[in-house]
Structure 1
Amino acid sequence: MDAALAALTTEEIQEFVKNGFVVKRNILDPKLCAAARDRLWAGNTSSHLRRDDPETWINGIPEADRQSTPDGMNDRTGDHGWRLRELSGDEDLINLLPRRVFPWFEQLLGEGEVVTPEVSSSAADPDPRGSRLRGWPVWGGKELRGMYCVLPRERTSDSPALADAARAGAHTDPEPMHLVASAYVDKVPKDGGGIALFPGSHC
């Protein structure tokens, strides 16, 4: 999937201005998505989570297994989340998303207004402490925030509605930014996922 993406249409730009986001589908290289998943599991230090046993993914990380490296680069302190920030400069991940959508960023923000993605690690030359990253290492580099894994939850009759649960966890992050791109690198079931977007909340 080396072909360049078509420019955003006028309608998509208007949607972005109005709602604060644009949703695009089937734009990522499946091989790089697979490489990203491999890289995530290669960084697994959990005594509970097992790639080949999806039952271990459901209903969160046991409290005894909620740990983080001191620098926050491999963080499992959340009950249903795992943040692998050490991948922030990874070549495959940068090719997967930042370099892929870079022309759209320039289209929306202007040429020369976007930080050019730079590789600082690879599968053959990892950077587990994030020492080569540009920017605040605890938040990842200027290219990426790393790779975030949101584990599935079983829904019960008394579970809050998805929209209510998303509103309860809504937040902004402190680091300065103009534009963010997020992507799913695996199949996500209906009503699943780890990102909630509220139209107009950018205003």
Structure 2
Amino acid sequence: MPYRNGNYCAFYVSEPFSESNLGASSTKDFVTYNLLRAWKAADSTFPFIDSHEKNYNVRDGSDWEKTLKPRLHQRLDNSKNIILVLSSITKNSRALREEIDYGINTKGLPVIVIYPDYSEKSDIASANGIKKQVKDLWDLLPKFRDSMSSVATFHVPYKKNLIRSALNDTDFMVNTMGKASAYYYSI
């Protein structure tokens, strides 16, 4: 059994993807992923362990079935959870569908959902639960929307201290996952 200590970050970028492409670096979802990496680089105690750094990088010209998909699976196999970046620009790409399907439905990984469009707890939830504006974003990724009831999901605004707390929460790690449900910070 692999050592599952990484955080697998799933995010949308337009395809074909190139990290060196300025267009990718200006995409809200990719910027959020890069900020997690920057927080870790600046503060070694920030609890983000990037599963994307755990095996060989892939290029968009690589074969999907022979190279890309197996590498995604390998990274997810070594992860304790998925960090899903979900914003108004997220699209239902082949890679995101595969990451979510394999991560949730095959590996049973809990999901911490970061919403770059929202920075406050009150943007995510009210006294009545998760807000409609957030639930509407789930429709952008039907595989996530339809699979999320199988694992614990934590819906987190785009705020460093709340993201840090979510990453440290053992209820959102595969070996210690809490009950399958949608969680959020109460207001």
Q: TM-score, normalised by structure 2?
A: 0.27
Report which of the two has the higher share of helix: 2
Q: TM-score, normalised by structure 1?
A: 0.25
For the pair shown, the structure with the greater C-alpha radius of gyration is 1
